[in-house]
Amino acid sequence: MTAQLTDDQIKTILQGIAIPPQPQILVDLQMEQLDPNCSVLSVAKLISQDVGLSGSILKTVNSSFFQHASNITSITQAVNLLGIKTVVNLVNAHSIKGELADEDIIALGRFWDSAMEVAATSVVIAKQISMQNPDEAYTLGLFHNCGIPLLMKRCDDYQSVIQQCYAEQTLSITEKENELIRTNHAVVGYYVGKAWNLPKYLCEAIHDHHNPINIFTDEFADNRKKNLLAVLKMAEFICGCHATIGGQSENYEWHQVKQYVLDYVGMTEYDFENLHATVIELGLGSTDYYS
């Protein structure tokens, strides 16, 4: 795997930047703390709805101070290990650094909504195909576009850039992004994942999520990464990310990767239609983007 950034460029992009928490999530967490029935599960459920908070919690629990035998990828497990008091202190510290102007909140609204919906849809799909550790599918769904808010902070008119990338029919989304701004949100997200101490295969899935064909056609590629990417691409399509993030009515990427994904998970198009219908029945995804 090759990175598009030098070490100095990475440091420049990531220096002093944290993915800001969604303001309403902070309010809900503050209210939850006051509830006498506050539990690990309820706190974890709220934190799992936000990319920045989830990243901070996972980074902390996976730090060398705790010395776990393996990296933690489940928010519930992380909250349980850290304890509610510690988690609340971390959230409060994170919220101070993550204050946003009104225009930033509006600009990041689509990112927050999309990340949450893709994560929830990924869990449904992972369970439907009997994937082990559906929590990891949730984690990838929540974090896969975590480079977007960082680049929004660094690049003027980044929303226009990402829409041009989703409109590209020849190059991949990240190849077009490299052409326009000399880096892309997937490689930035990869380094964010490393900073959050996510497992290597999850970081690589973030890096490769717009170039999955190379992974599906590589017989030596990590099967955990293939499973995660297959779930993610189906979830992105069902949730209409090409419209909500890319501003496009046509999902050019899905047309290119669909058969590789369905072949890998052993689905027919009829099977996928049924899966899509199941997701819709659960109140996720959209019927507008099935084409």
Q: What confidence tens digit (pLDDT) does each residue in 36-84 have?
A: 888 999 999 999 988 888 988 898 888 877 777 778 889 999 999 888 8
Picking from 49, 73, 97, the residue at the C-terminal end of a domain is: 97
Task: Kindly report the backbone phi and psi dihedral angles of residue 170, in degrees, each rounded to the nearest multiple of 5, phi listed first.
Answer: -105, -55
How many secondary structure helices (H) and strands (E) does the chain include?
19, 0
Report the b/e string of 23-55 with b at 16+ CB within 10 A. eebbebbeebeeeeeeebebbbebbbbbbbbbb
Q: Examine the fold and report which residue of 97, 131, 152 is the final residue of a domain before the chain moves on.
A: 97
For the stretch 75-125, pLDDT in tens is: 999 999 888 888 877 777 676 566 556 666 666 777 888 998 999 999 999
Domain coverage including residue 233: 102-281
pLDDT of residue 156: 80
**Residue 18 — pLDDT band, cuts 50, 70, 90?**
low
113 lies in a domain? yes
Shared domain for 81 and 178, answered yes or no, is: no
Asked whether residue 147 falls in the same domain as residue 217, the answer is: yes
CB burial string 221-254: b at 16+ within 10 A, e below: beebbbbbbbbbbbbbbbbbbbbbbbebeebbbb
pLDDT given at position 3: 42
Residues 40 and 91 placed together within one structural domain of the fold:
yes
Whether 75 is covered by a domain: the verdict is yes
Are residue 146 and residue 111 in the same domain, yes or no? yes
Would you say residue 13 lies in a domain?
no
Same structural domain, 141 and 252: yes
Q: Give the residue carrying structure tokens 């850039």.
A: 161
Whether residue 287 lies inside any domain: the answer is no
pTM of the predicted protein model: 0.82
Q: Please say whether the beta carbons of 240 and 285 come within 8 A.
A: yes
Mean pLDDT of the chain: 86
Claim to verify: residue 79 and residue 136 sit in the same structural domain: no
Q: Which of 34, 65, 97 is the last residue of a domain?
A: 97
The pair of structure tokens assigned to 251 is 């999902």
Distances in Å between the alpha carbon of 289 and those of 99, 160, 182, 250, 256?
34, 21, 30, 8, 16
